[in-house]
């Protein structure tokens, strides 16, 4: 598989990139972003742009791919207009450019639990708007509605305040993942679930948090990895 990945420097994207680079079926990963991922691997190519609104510098390298794993996004803070610009406008700009060049590929989007365009809660409403707009595109789309995401295997939030919070809360999240898999997942589970979805001939359009964890377990079983994630892993 050839993968286009966005958000490789973010918390979720770091974990997804790690899983992709470890998977023998993934032969190439292009990381589209504003900053280099910091990873060095023979499979990895960096596609750097100043703004997702202007993809002209990398247009000729947006094909051919089997899937786009869209992990880029913004923290749900600040003005609604700014959050919508990043979450809806920029996501759609990348998705349309990708779909035009890779019509048979899949676009897998990191959304969020309870996303709904009719929600009274701003981040859930905007994420729901993004889901609806993506689903209308002429390409196969899959929405992953993650709950809380535990960073594992050295993944750290790029936001200092969030990184400090995860340092304290991480072990508790690992316990919570085992007790309430419908509410919590991990960076590794998200990456494994994404690749498992790409293996499926007819994947679901919406994947809730508990299904993300189940897909990750299926991925481990099919690849011979340990059946249970070591959530205490650094």
**120 touches 83 (CB < 8 A):** no
Rounded Cα distance between 143 and 113, Å, is: 10
3-state SS class at 17: helix
Cis peptide before 64 (omega within 30 of 0): yes
Consecutive 10-residue averages of pLDDT for the chain (234 residues): 96 94 97 93 97 96 98 88 96 98 98 96 96 97 93 62 55 60 85 98 97 96 66 40
Enter the pTM of the model: 0.87
3-state SS class at 158: coil
């Amino acid at each position: 598989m050839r993968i286009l990945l966005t958000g490789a420097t973010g918390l979720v994207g770091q974990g997804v990139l790690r899983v992709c680079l470890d998977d023998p079926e993934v032969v190439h990963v292009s990381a589209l972003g504003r900053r280099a991922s910091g990873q060095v691997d023979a499979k990895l190519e960096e596609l750097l742009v100043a703004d997702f609104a202007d993809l002209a510098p990398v247009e000729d390298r947006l094909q051919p791919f089997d899937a786009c794993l869209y992990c880029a996004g913004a923290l749900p803070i600040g003005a609604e207009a700014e959050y919508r610009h990043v979450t809806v406008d920029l996501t759609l700009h990348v998705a349309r450019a990708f779909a035009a060049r890779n019509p048979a590929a899949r676009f897998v989007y990191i959304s969020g639990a309870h996303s709904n365009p009719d929600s009274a809660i701003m981040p859930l409403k905007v994420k729901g708007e993004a889901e609806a707009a993506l689903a209308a595109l002429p390409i196969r789309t899959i929405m992953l509605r993650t709950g809380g995401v535990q960073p594992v295997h050295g993944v750290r939030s790029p936001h200092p305040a969030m990184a400090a919070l995860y340092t304290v809360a991480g072990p508790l999240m690992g316990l919570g993942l085992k007790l309430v898999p419908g509410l919590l997942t991990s960076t590794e589970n998200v990456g494994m679930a994404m690749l498992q979805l790409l293996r499926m001939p007819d994947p679901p359009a919406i994947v809730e948090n508990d299904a993300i964890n189940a897909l990750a377990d299926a991925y481990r079983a099919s690849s011979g990895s340990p059946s249970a994630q070591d959530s205490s892993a650094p």
